[in-house]
Structure 1
Amino acid sequence: MISSGIILGVAIDWLVGEPKRWHPLVGFGRLANSIEERVNVCSPGFLFAPTVWTRHGKLCGVVAVMLLCLPLPLVLYSLFSSSDSSAVVVYLLNAFVLYLAIGHRSLWDHIRPITEALFRQDDESARHHTAMIVSRDPDALNIEVSAIESVLENGSDAIFGAIFWFAIAGGAGAVFYRFVNTLDAMWGYRTARYHQFGWAAARLDDALNYIPARLTALTYALLSDCANALRCWKEQASAHASPNGGPVIAAGAGGLGILLGGPTRYHGIWHDKPVLGRGRPPTAVDIQRAMRLVSHSLMLWMGLIISAEIIWFFFINDGSVK
């Protein structure tokens, strides 16, 4: 059953946490860096003459995404769908793959030191730990805003998106989604180096996250100040640069009654991000509230998935109890 696989994967993640060594996504990131150096026309290690290939930057990005994201999911799909595979083994492997694909416990582990440092009024330590989870320039970031935006977006990307695609296509779907999501995080910048090459990863990530992000935003709204969350989503989300980050952050900020966004510096360049949400500037307590919102949302998702599968099994599926 899909729901039991999700429960087991989520449980392993919470009890064990992310692997301290040999994390598959870390290894995938290193492989992606190696391929990007050789395939991206704007990278120092590019194999061919830039004057010949510069206009084909998007095509090179498409090739890189296919090389990195397709082989393992196809192998997993073939393995999991084979009639020769043991049902118990397939179930356990699917759950284990989901455990590796989600990051609920790791999100808590990365956020906790930030709030603890803020409560000690140790801004230097809080800034250091925040810089580990965001791509913003450390000396210029707003700690509370950056941490909460990371919590809300990572809830969508590293938890709910992976669960959504696991429910659709099992472990293979979750792996494909997380690979694409990782490449977007690495290459999805509008810099000279990645503007063309990262196009394929960014657009594919937008497509894969379209439904999960909006389900996440709706969940955040239902479990907080719903009216304010929905109003902020409707009125403010389109102003955000990300078509999926906008609804998630706007709904989360509105539901929590805080203000996010504002001027932010990436790689030495200031960006005037739109202000999302309504209420007051966030505090360290609001970082904890955002984490609890993500955790409660995960509980709701699991409950709904279990309920939907029970309804399907007993009342809709042919040959079941009517």
Structure 2
Amino acid sequence: MMIHLTLIGALLLDAWLGEPPALWNRLPHPAVLMGRAVDRLDRALNHGRFRRARGVLALATLVGLALILAVLIAAIPLGPLPELITAAILLAQRSLADHVTAVATGLRQSTGAGRSAVAMIVSRDTAAMDDTAVARSAIESAAENLSDGVIAPVFWFALAGLPGLLVYKFVNTADSMIGYRTPRHAAFGWASARADDLLNLIPARLTALLIAATNGQLTAMPAIRAEAARHKSPNAGWPEAAMARALGVALAGPRSYDGVMRDFPFVNPKGRRTLGAQDIDRAVALLWRSWGAMISLVVIWVALSVTVARLST
């Protein structure tokens, strides 16, 4: 039960403070430090023969590092506070909502301001985006990062405590950096990409369920499942399909990376294809509704655990 109480505290702390610039302008964020570890392993191991095996070694090193950190943090003699603060830092609900809202704010000023804001949260090319492409990109990022940055960390913390959360964050960071099927990382990043797919298997579907439930669309889950299969990712399609149906819009579709246009299929292709700042606002509202449903589930779990414990004594 203590894990779940710590989790509730972390969720509330993250929602309240997010990522204070006064702190992270002075100190490297843990996600940055994780990225440095991945980069160092990439430079040290990603060469020569047996790159897939070297990638497995890199992943094992990151998992080991995550477990060592969890032990060190748990050893700090301040009760659950160090774990609560660590979990709050590694959750991203408030920062996600703030970054996506900034795109809507920028888009209301000008297309250029919207492009600048969305470039902070997506990896695709933004220079030629129109208002619809900016809005669609922001909404897709909102849906995918709700799963990767909030629901999945909460799921693994609830299941395995701080070790589970730290392992997930290291693996997810590795996937974002070396999991792409580029010539350099096709073999070396294989293990990280597959591990990330596995760790997000349940959270991605749970995210879709939360989005649908908080929008009164639970009966649409079979359709969401079918639409998710259209996505290039085995997991990201679930929250995007749920978000697309909740907003009545088409997401995914063609987009440009490194100057090359890629013809990805639309998710919910019959949805509205002209999007704007108001659609981003609606997506942010769904982020908070899903967050509220998730924390409610954790509270219910704690209440049930207390009740069961009392009945058994």
Task: Work out whether the TM-score is over 0.5.
Answer: yes
State how far apart, in whole Å, the 1-side matches of 2:257 and 2:216 are: 31
Alpha-carbon deviations, 1:90-136, whole Å to 9, x = none?
4112211111211111112212221111112x111111111111110
1:187-240 deviation per Cα after TM superposition (whole angstroms, max 9, x unaligned): 121111111111111100111111111111111111115157424313211121
Does structure 1 residue 27 correspond to structure 2 residue 20? no
1:267-298 deviation line (CA, Å, top 9, x unaligned) = 22222122112421232111111111111111
Correspondence 1:16 to 2:17: yes
Map of 2:300 onto structure 1: 307
Which residue of the partner structure matches residue 144 of structure 2? 153
Residue 178 (str. 1) matches residue 169 (str. 2): yes
Number of the residue aligned with 1:44 = none
Identity within the alignment, %:
36
- Give the counterpart of 1:62 among 27, 46, 56: 56
Look up the match of 1:131: 119
- Counterpart residue type for residue 288 of structure 1: D
Aligned residue for 1:192, secondary structure, equals coil
Which is bigger in relative contact order (C-alpha 8 A, separation at least 6)? 2
What residue in structure 1 maps to residue 180 of structure 2? 189
Counting only pairs closer than 5 Å after superposition, residues 92-131 of structure 1 correspond to structure 2 as 92-120=81-109, 122-131=110-119
| Aligned-partner SS, 1:7 | helix
What 5-or-longer segments of structure 2 have no aligned partner? none
Aligned partners of 2:231 and 2:252 also within 8 Å: no
Aligned mates of 2:217, 2:97 — CA distance in 1 = 24
Give the 5 Å matches for 1:1-322: 1-18=2-19, 19-20=23-24, 21-41=27-47, 50=48, 53=49, 56-77=50-71, 80=74, 89-120=78-109, 122-141=110-129, 142-226=133-217, 229-277=220-268, 278-281=270-273, 282-315=275-308, 317=309, 320=311
**Amino acid in structure 1 at the alignment position of 2:119:** A
1:320 shift after superposition: 4.0
Deviation at 1:140, TM superposition (A): 4.0
- The answer on whether the counterparts of 1:232 and 1:276 sit within 8 Å (CA) in structure 2 is no
Per-residue Cα deviation, 1:292-317 (whole angstroms, up to 9, x for no partner): 111111111111111122112212x3
**2:255 match: secondary structure:** strand
User: Structure 1-normalised TM-score?
Assistant: 0.88
Q: Secondary structure at the match of 1:302?
A: helix
Equivalent-residue separation in structure 2 for 1:291 and 1:138 (angstroms): 21
Counterpart Cα distance in 2 of 1:40 and 1:306: 44
Distance in structure 1 (CA, Å) of the matches to 2:170 and 2:181: 20
TM-score normalised according to structure 2 size: 0.90
Moved more, 219-228 or 264-273: 219-228
1:69-91 CA distances to partner (integer Å, 9 max, x unpaired)?
A: 322324424763x7xx75xx341
Distance between the aligned counterparts of 1:32 and 1:138, measured in 2? Answer: 26
1:258–1:279 Cα contact (<8 Å) kept: yes
d(CA) in 1 for partners of 2:267 and 2:305? Answer: 39
Distance 2:113 2:5 in 1: 40
Residues 229 and 250 in structure 1, CA contact (< 8 A), matched pair in contact too: no
CA contact (8 A) 1:151 1:290 kept: yes
Greater mean alpha carbon deviation, residues 143-152 or residues 268-277 = 268-277
RMSD: 2.0
Distance 1:7 1:227 in 2: 25
Letter of the 2:99 counterpart:
H
Aligned 8 A contact 1:133 1:150 in 2: yes
Count of residue correspondences: 302
